Structure 1
Amino acid sequence: AGISWFDLSKGLPSGVIIKSLQITESNNTMKAATHGNGVYEIHLPDIALSAEKEPSLPTGFKLYQNFPNPFNPTTQITYSISKFNKPQFVKLTIYDLIGQTIATLVSEKQPPGNYKVTFEASSEMSRLTSGIYLYTLRVGNFSQTKKMILLK
């Protein structure tokens, strides 16, 4: 979208073979090193030399390792929802090692994209001890679990 091609061959001999191109953004010039015909330089006054990339959507579901890990008292959990799906119900839950729910961080319909959620163990500190906890992402039929370590 918005990308156009410009003919920049003015001044080059017919059939010339270009071996190398160098674009210098600071002065909007392009140099072309040819095979046997020297180096040519052209000023690029009206050509945008850079463009912002649109952020790409993930191609699959993914639950990433929390960071920092080990943590005390806060950690971030990142996950991705596939661009090939419509908005789906997402549930991100923290469990202890015997399967008891500690906290539900996300429980809502979300569109495809990349997400980051903060887990504040300090709000649960009265009952949480140092140790290993699990966090599970469920999106439709997809489910993935990772471990995290709380150090008090």
Structure 2
Amino acid sequence: MRNITILVGTMTGTAELVADEIADSLVGEGFDVQVVAMDGLDGLIFSDGGVFLICTSTYGQGDVPDNALGLYEHLEHSRSDLSNVRYGIFAMGDSTYDATFCQGGKMFDQLLTKLGAKRVGDVQEHDASSGTMPEDEGAKWVVDWSKLI
């Protein structure tokens, strides 16, 4: 069975709800899925390689959520070789804040790429001002994304 780990960065729980809906869609596509909140994680989560999906909101002035900060900073200060990691990003933001729109996801994308991880597909951005529900968009988007793995 194909394995995917969804790492969740959230302040209010919305990204967790989205991750759960994405996981349900992936299970329906034949994947074994684990949803893991980023709380207390460090770069060792990537040590065995594999396929990861980062599901994160953006907080404050374009920052990663508080529960994702430890993982982000650990990776930022490490010299980890993540060449055995493939990943996707489902980033959430609000285009009302144009300069920092979906910045949390973009920050993870830049950092993972810098460490040698290979992104699968494009970063998927959800706009809170769009009128669509992020969990619905995520559940639909991930079906197409999973075909790229």
Normalising by structure 2, we get a TM-score of 0.22
Report which structure shows greater RCO (CA 8 Å, sep ≥6). Answer: 2
Structure with greater proportional helix content: 2
Structure with greater proportional strand content: 1
Normalising by structure 1, we get a TM-score of 0.22
